[in-house]
Structure 1
Amino acid sequence: MTSSAATASQASDLNPQPEGPPPNPNPRKPRLALPAGACDAHCHIYGPFDRFPLPVDRSFTPKEAPETALRHLHERLGFSRAVIVHSQGHGFDHRPLLDALATGQGRYRGVALVRPDTPPEEVARYAVAGVCGSRFNFMTHLSARLSNDAISDAIRLIRPHGWHAEIHVGGRQLLEAEAFIRSIEVPVVIDHMARLDIAEGPDGPVAGAMKRLLDTGTVYVKLSGPERLSKVGAPYHDVVPLAAGLARHAPERVLWGSDWPHVNLHGPMPDDGDLVDLIAEIAPSEAARKLLLVDNPTRFFGFV
């Protein structure tokens, strides 16, 4: 049994109650018509639990949100491609992700959780299946953070496959990690606009660090998670100055993701139709939206 599936068959009594509410079951259809080939560059799946029970090494307990529900959502919103990011809700059991990649038949790419002790043959198997990156959490509520040396060791495992490193940081953690991110010798993407405090404004220190990293030419940022950053709530207009500023600064190195099913969010669940319509304010022109939703993800994630 591979390391990622070692505990998959064990039913867990750890955190048995799901943490946070389920996603909006009936999001409205967006007013914004998305370009053909639009990609949701950051989403997750959980379950189905009768096939993929939650393992003991998970860091939180999600509600069930299988690939079938994700596909239904994307058909309603107008997405034909997506990047499924493996989540600590399934620990290191990657079977749900691998199953979704096989089901999608090219519709999806995947992001795994690779550690220094992940067997190289397991990484190679993930690559064949359609995984194209590994996520590294700096957020302590999701897992014990790997040291920079350990992340570097894991990156040595993924580099031969042409993968990227996905960095999940919170606010001013980015300032501490900026030099290390610059040292990473594979392409990098920063999740959720670094989850910064938007009270600092679109030109604050964390936003400045993101722009400096974007200027390297090898770092991208996901303009996702406005529901986590907003101070005023839906439809999250207070996040637009930050997201639109990043899109203007580096239009060829921005990506967009829904972050569905919005786990570990304890406020009101967003309407995913609102999130899609916000794209029109972040990227006002058709050309900018095509870069954000089609051209950039096609190039970065290797869609064909």
Structure 2
Amino acid sequence: MNEPTCPPPVAVPRTPRTVLPPGACDAHCHIFGPTSTFPYAPERTFTPPEAPRERLEELHRLLGLERAVIVQSACHGTDHSALLDALERGAGRYRGVAIVTSSTPPAEVRRLHEAGVRGARLHFTPHLGSAPSEEEIRAVVGLVRPYGWHIALHVQGTGIADHEALVRSIPLPVVIDHMARVDLRDGLESPAVHALRRLLESGRVWVKVSGADRLALSPPPMDDSAALARLLVADAPERTVWGTDFPHPNTHGFMPDDGDLTDLLPEIAPGTEGLRRLLVDNPVRCFGFAPVPPVPSAPPE
């Protein structure tokens, strides 16, 4: 029952060359288990290797990340015990994205908010189960709207174009995971990419320029997916964030080194100010972290 159905992350990631700014945030990562304390949901559709909070903290120290948004995984279902434990131990360094359904009690949403959760994730990816109905989406929006949460949208292929009208109808900020997991075989002029860029123009939609490894057509080179990320950052520099997606669940065929993903950042958001905006300032606004004071300029010699 607990035999993993997907591979583990790289055991010893390399130290990146890129030095991240103080307060840098990993805006999309997961924790799995340990199952002896935080068991997986019986109805899950996949079983990842364990990747507990301590493993995530170790990676963040290596990469130079000081904050994180921990996204509840479908393998834990609506039991947020592992996420809540991490939020408490993070002492303000973490925010969370939960899985909320129409049957989630309002008191549970309040508890999650007080712990540091700031978003609810909706899956439109077949490998994670059935997509929510419009009625279900309205119910989730109603539950989280009093707290000002965002709706995190997980789509793939043509999904962002298929659901463009739905995204526009949601009366809350929407954060699109992993650049909508568009199919880059269709190029940067595809209907899905155009839909994603139109939504960014709306002013209410954010995009996580994470998942470069998932979108790249011939990894390990990720030039094609980095080009898409750079395009999106240029379109909406104030509404893009980045994450590792550690420990890369349901990855098959190519497992990225998180040091390599980190070293893509200067290509995605060039310049000191671009990097700070993507990794520090935008996560503050999107997820409600405490502001990070700017680094004082060196006095003239």
- 2:233 equivalent to 1:247: yes
| 1:169-209 deviation per Cα after TM superposition (whole angstroms, max 9, x unaligned) | 01211111000100101110000001011122223211111
Match of 2:273 in 1: 287
Match of 1:70 in 2: 56
CA–CA separation in structure 1 for the residues paired with 2:83 and 2:142? 22
CA–CA separation in structure 2 for the residues paired with 1:211 and 1:17? 40
* Structure 1 unmatched ranges of 5 or more: 1-12
Structural mapping, 1:1-304, within 5 Å: 13=1, 16-304=2-290
CA–CA separation in structure 2 for the residues paired with 1:214 and 1:54? 35
CA–CA separation in structure 1 for the residues paired with 2:262 and 2:193? 22
CA–CA separation in structure 2 for the residues paired with 1:143 and 1:94? 18
Q: Which amino acid aligns with 2:32?
A: Y
CA–CA separation in structure 2 for the residues paired with 1:25 and 1:148? 41
Matched positions, count = 290
On the 8 A contact 1:235/1:278 being kept in 2, the answer is: no
| 1:140-192 deviation per Cα after TM superposition (whole angstroms, max 9, x unaligned) | 11122111221111111000011000000012111110001001011100000
On the 8 A contact 2:16/2:263 being kept in 1, the answer is: yes
On the 8 A contact 2:33/2:82 being kept in 1, the answer is: yes
On the 8 A contact 1:169/1:195 being kept in 2, the answer is: yes
CA–CA separation in structure 2 for the residues paired with 1:240 and 1:62? 26
What TM-score do the two structures reach when normalised by structure 1? 0.94
CA–CA separation in structure 2 for the residues paired with 1:256 and 1:235? 19
Shift of 1:32: 0.5
What TM-score do the two structures reach when normalised by structure 2? 0.94
Q: Which amino acid aligns with 2:121?
A: R
Q: Describe the SS at the equivalent of 1:110.
A: strand
Shift of 1:75: 0.5
Q: Describe the SS at the equivalent of 1:153.
A: helix
State the Cα RMSD in Å: 0.9
| 1:30-80 deviation per Cα after TM superposition (whole angstroms, max 9, x unaligned) | 101001100000000001111112221222111100000000100000100
CA–CA separation in structure 2 for the residues paired with 1:255 and 1:207? 17
On the 8 A contact 2:7/2:48 being kept in 1, the answer is: no
CA–CA separation in structure 2 for the residues paired with 1:189 and 1:55? 25
